[in-house]
Amino acid sequence: MFSGPGDPVLTEHRPALTPGRLYALMSAEFQECRSRHCIGCVMPMLYVVEDAGMGANWALEPMGRRCPSCESAVARIRAKYAALYDVRDHGLARLP
């Protein structure tokens, strides 16, 4: 999962997007910055985090394959968007 200590914490509320819109933004950015040699990696799906405190109310599933270059890109994108947005659709699947 791409979340944890060191995540941006804001004292003001972040605007909320639908999960689909947030995923579309992150996925588009990932497509632009992923390794040109890697055609198998995709942006992981997001899910709601209960009791997120002041952090984003969502996190990302693990990547489907091990790719250090793409994992780094996903971590940067997640940090950027976690500081900017929450999700507003609380019907999202919740992982344990």
CB atoms within 10 A of CB 84: 15
pLDDT per residue as tens digits for the range 4-18: 444 444 435 789 999
> Helical H runs in the chain?
19-33, 68-84
pLDDT band at 21 (very low <50, low <70, confident <90, very high): very high
Return the bridge partners of 46, or none.
60
Residue with tokens 């579309």: 24
19 backbone dihedrals φ, ψ, rounded to 5°: -60, -40
At 34 the pLDDT is 84
In single-letter form, the type of residue at position 70 comes to C
CB atoms within 10 A of CB 14: 18
